[in-house]
Amino acid sequence: MGTLFIALRTLVYVTAFVGFFAWLALRVRLLDQRLGLELPSWVQGPGVILMVAGGVLVLMCAVQFVWRGGGTPAVFDAPRRFVGSGPYRFVRNPMYLGGLTTLAGLGLFLHSGAVLIFSGAMFLAFHLFVNFYEEPVLERQFGASYVNYKATTHRWFPKWPARSPVAQS
């Protein structure tokens, strides 16, 4: 029952976060005329691809938080156990990257320069939040395991994890 309840909370939180950022994006879109940025019509297709890819990444991260971490993506209901698997093997902040990719894809889909600028502003806000709040909290909560993770996994740019040395016979 515990995992099911965590999964239901995660569904509610993810839906609320997506809804909130979609609402913000649609409000920001009202600035398009004022900015005078026109995007070509061909960007709509790549926008759909980015939205789907970002959404899948967010869902993969949420599943890792529920099953491996025993918590949700919400800061106030975070995982109880360190999660360094799934997408977190490749980059420290895949959920933020998935959300930003989805948001940028929405901007392309809507032909909205304002939403793309908003996506960039959200990246800056997430970067500051991660640097000054989230990472210090995770270091205190998970200690050496998180410090080691930080040393081997990039914050924003994915990389393949180092392979374990194979025993020579």
Task: Show me where the domains of the chain are located.
Answer: 2-152
Report how far apart, in Å, the C-alpha atoms of 110 and of each of 39, 41, 92, 96, 166 are.
9, 9, 29, 21, 49
38 strand-pairing partners: 112
**Structure token digits, residue 135:** 């990472």
Residue-wise pLDDT tens digits, 31-65: 999 998 889 999 999 999 999 999 999 999 999 99
pLDDT at 1 (0 to 100)? 61
N-term to C-term CA, the chain: 47
The reported pLDDT for the residue numbered 160 is 83
Q: Using a cut of 0.85, tell me whether the model's pTM lies above it.
A: yes
pLDDT of residue 169: 36
* pLDDT of res. 50: 98
* 54 half-sphere exposure, CB direction, 13 A CA radius: 21
What pLDDT tens digit does each residue of the chain (169 aa) get? 699 999 999 999 999 999 999 999 999 999 999 998 889 999 999 999 999 999 999 999 999 999 999 999 999 999 999 999 999 999 999 999 999 999 999 999 999 999 999 999 999 999 999 999 999 999 999 999 999 999 999 999 998 866 655 444 3
Q: pLDDT > 70: what percent of the chain?
A: 94
Helices of type H across the chain = 2-28, 32-35, 44-64, 94-109, 113-129, 135-142, 144-152
Assigned CATH class of 2-152: mainly alpha
